[in-house]
Amino acid sequence: ALISFGSAFAFSYAQYEHLGYLLGYPDPAQDLYTAPELPKDIPRIQLRLAGEKRKHNEGRVEVFYEEEWGTVCDDDFTIHAAQVVCRELGYSDAVSWSPSSKYGKGEGRIWFDNVHCTGNEKSLAQCESNGIGVSDCKHTEDVGVVCSDKRIPGFKFVNTLTNNINSLNIQVEDVRIRPILSSYRKRNPVTEGYVEVKDGGKWKQICDDEWTHMNSRVICGMFGFPGDKRYNTRVYKMFARRRKPTYWDYSINCTGNEAHLSSCKLGHTLAIKANSTCEQGTPVVVSCVPGRAFAPTPMAGYRKAFRQEQPLVRLRGGAVVGEGRVEVLKNGEWGTICDDNWNLVAEVIMTKYVFMTIYGCVYENMYFPGMGPVHMNEVKCSGFEKSVTECPFNMDKDSEGCSHEEDAGVRCNVPAMGFQRRLRLSGGRNPFEGRVEVLMERNGSLVWGTVCGEGWGTMEAMVVCRQLGLGFASHAFQETWNWPGAVNADSVVMSGVRCAGTEMSLSHCLHHGEYLSCPKGGGRFAAGVSCSETAPDLVLNPQVVEQTTYLEDRPMFMLECAYEENCLGSTFSSTPANSYRRLLRFSSQIHNNGQSDFRPKASRETWVWHDCHRHYHSMEVFTHYDLLSNNGTKVAEGHKASFCLEDSECDEGIEKRYECANFGEQGITVGCWDTYRHDIDCQWVDISDVKPGDYIFQIVINPNYEVAESDYTNNIVKCRCRYDGHRIWMYNCHIGGSFSAETEDTFPGLINNQVTHR
């Protein structure tokens, strides 16, 4: 027997409704749900989502008809059919659908094939098809859907079937941990209290007669906590005697490694547990242990921003906290995990990753491919390890048969902090853009207001998009003339915002506090953002830098254009005209490993023409080149303007889209790379004044964060360099962040592309 619950976002709102974050938002309870009435000639079916590696709002579509569960074939299936399925299950909309049994092969009959829906049907049975039970498909063609996290307000599952115990599907609207003790009511996040389910519009407790530690483990995991702990049972028994509980009709049976309560089964005993049947027990209580980044504090005192530590496991490339490509540290170098035989691995990612639940994760293979070694292959976890590094794997086949296209990723539950309710975008054409408005305390009350646009940039926009769960920033705006926003929220309530880019909330960034400074004021000069579910990710090939380095003594008369573009050392003007400059030359091969094309920030109409070189600059500063001493002091520098962003070469099967010839569009397509050859102007560092010795050579792409990317930490390449006055050797070139912190400490300068003053 199965249980179906509401969305993750739904229970996070219920979890924190006592904090008063909902000011300015409509009350979902105002919309009343009415169950659809179907014509008598339409077959009565029941739907559910099932399968492996999934969250509660996604999975293989299964249909119950004539006392048997079956599946739906992916032939002719469309997003319109997915919308019908999701709404029939109580979700507001469909996000996507997946063919070819992504969630595993089902069993039994294939009830529907060649389904054609308009999207307006009340039931999948109303859509045109070959006829129920008529199919020539195999279970390798079972279709799956991903539904929106948002539930239809007031939705309650209506069971139109007479089910036996094995096919019973109990639908409840929501689940939460309700704080009971006064000390926990003030904490954020809530870590201890009654486990309650919302059924028939009423919150109900669960009798603890058949409750197990495994159930508590799953409850804590689904709310983003790494584990559970003991609590004071005596005080809760006293509370239960004073206030009579209202019990839910069912018990729950979890194995302990489910990512969500909806994956658990109903308990063995389905007898109605009315109040008289729980005389020996009390309402279920859980006490969860939060990760260090989510340690509970009073709401007013929560000021901590997430600061990366040095774990053995990390996530990269995810749009929001708690998701991304899984990387592990082995022999001092970061590498990926191949998704071959990926079973319960996602559910044990990770105890030392400071904000993650250990087992509230599900597999996801949609993140940007990694680089470097593949450290683990054929990983087999039981589901109860504390870290994926404890799971056995095939040590003889670390990377055999695996490419980075098979890099494994996860999406994990994280504690709902209520940050999302203190920020909104207003005035935009769609939910992904608008003027940034924040909820701040002013004169003892919470008011909505704007953020000063002065100094607003990409890193600040990244935090806003992450806080709202909207993915990555695509643009940051210092003026919002086209987005009027809410009239009563024009006043500036936050100024001087400076973010490192890793914060979970805009309030965690540096800002002026109560003493605001914004000369232009709010309104049309307020900060704005546009967000995107995807982003580019530029990565420089370190091997190409290492293999193409050489010295050139270039005559002065051949450097006039380079001098105009400020590509030479400070002593150039005092160098005799019949002399030369010594240049450290190299090639740069810049790959776009992201999920969207890299485009210059400036539109083509605003590109700057440079007459000497006879080309346009789409980005005045595209890369920085620095030669550093072993203590981190800069001894020589260079820079490269983006005079031509184009697709030099692409991976197999990908077509070039950008070409600079004839004032063409500039950019780098996903899966392509742009090569700046060693023999073009400014592709060098002027080392004419550098003494022989050992140095660190460093390249940083997109150093001013002009264009948003999914990951800035891999925009840097560092090499060791030895110069004897006549020759130069480049060795140990690597991408920033690809080694352990201890190894990186031997390479002074920027550890990664995070500017310290931000």
Residues in the chain: 758
Span 722-734, mean pLDDT? 93
Task: Tell me 716's DSSP state.
Answer: E
* Cα–Cα distances in angstroms (integers) from residue 691 to residues 361, 571, 682, 722, in the given order: 53, 14, 21, 11
Give dist(CA 217, CA 257) in Å, integer: 8
* Residue 754 pLDDT: 38
Give dist(CA 452, CA 457) in Å, integer: 11
Question: Domain limits of the chain?
Answer: 46-147, 174-289, 313-412, 419-532, 538-745
| Domain 174-289 of CATH type 3.50.50.60 | no
Span 541-567, mean pLDDT? 87
427 vs 380, which has greater pLDDT? 427
DSSP string, 124-148: GGGSB-S-TT-----GGGB-EEEE-
Is the model's pLDDT at 505 over the cut of 80? yes
Span 140-154, mean pLDDT? 83
DSSP string, 182-211: HHHHTEES--EEEEEEEETTEEEE-BGGG-
- The CATH code of the domain at 46-147 is 3.10.250.10
Superfamily of domain 419-532: SRCR-like domain (3.10.250.10)
pTM comes to 0.72
Tokens standing for residue 494: 């936050």
Give dist(CA 398, CA 623) in Å, integer: 35
* Residue 631 pLDDT: 86
Place of tokens 């969500």: 260
Give dist(CA 191, CA 207) in Å, integer: 19
* Residue 497 pLDDT: 94
Q: Which residues of 398-427 are buried (b: 16+ CB within 10 A; e: fewer)?
A: bbeebebebbbbbbbbbbbbbbbbbbbbbb
* Residue 32 pLDDT: 47
* Residue 609 pLDDT: 77
Span 366-372, mean pLDDT? 69
* Residue 20 pLDDT: 40
* Residue 35 pLDDT: 66
Say how many C-beta atoms besides its own lie within 10 A of residue 579's C-beta.
Answer: 10
pLDDT band for 299, please (50, 70, 90 cuts). very low
Give dist(CA 666, CA 617) in Å, integer: 10
pLDDT in tens, 240-253: 888 888 888 888 88
Least confident piece of the model among 184-188, 346-350, 741-745? 346-350
Give dist(CA 207, CA 248) in Å, integer: 7
Say how many C-beta atoms besides its own lie within 10 A of residue 310's C-beta.
Answer: 11
At position 701, the amino acid (one-letter code) is I
Shared fold status for 174-289 and 419-532: yes
536 vs 595, which has greater pLDDT? 536
pLDDT in tens, 9-43: 333 445 545 444 333 333 333 344 566 778 888 88
pLDDT in tens, 630-664: 888 899 888 776 667 889 999 888 889 998 877 78
Span 109-137, mean pLDDT? 91
Span 332-358, mean pLDDT? 58
Least confident piece of the model among 410-419, 425-434, 549-558, 585-594? 410-419
233 vs 25, which has greater pLDDT? 233
* Residue 681 pLDDT: 83
Give percent above pLDDT 70 in the chain: 81
Say how many C-beta atoms besides its own lie within 10 A of residue 192's C-beta.
Answer: 22
164 vs 179, which has greater pLDDT? 179
pLDDT band for 756, please (50, 70, 90 cuts). very low
Is the model's pLDDT at 332 over the cut of 50? yes
β-strands 608-610, 672-676 pairing? unpaired
Is the model's pLDDT at 355 over the cut of 50? no
Q: Which residues of 230-268 are buried (b: 16+ CB within 10 A; e: fewer)?
A: ebeeeebeebbeeeebebbbbbbbbebbbbbbbbbebbe
pLDDT band for 84, please (50, 70, 90 cuts). very high
- The CATH code of the domain at 313-412 is 3.10.250.10
* Residue 722 pLDDT: 95
672 vs 640, which has greater pLDDT? 672
Span 526-535, mean pLDDT? 90
**Across the beta sheet with 684-686, what order do the strands follow?**
550-555, 580-585, 684-686
213 vs 644, which has greater pLDDT? 213
pLDDT in tens, 396-454: 655 566 777 778 888 778 887 888 888 999 998 888 899 999 998 888 888 999 999 99
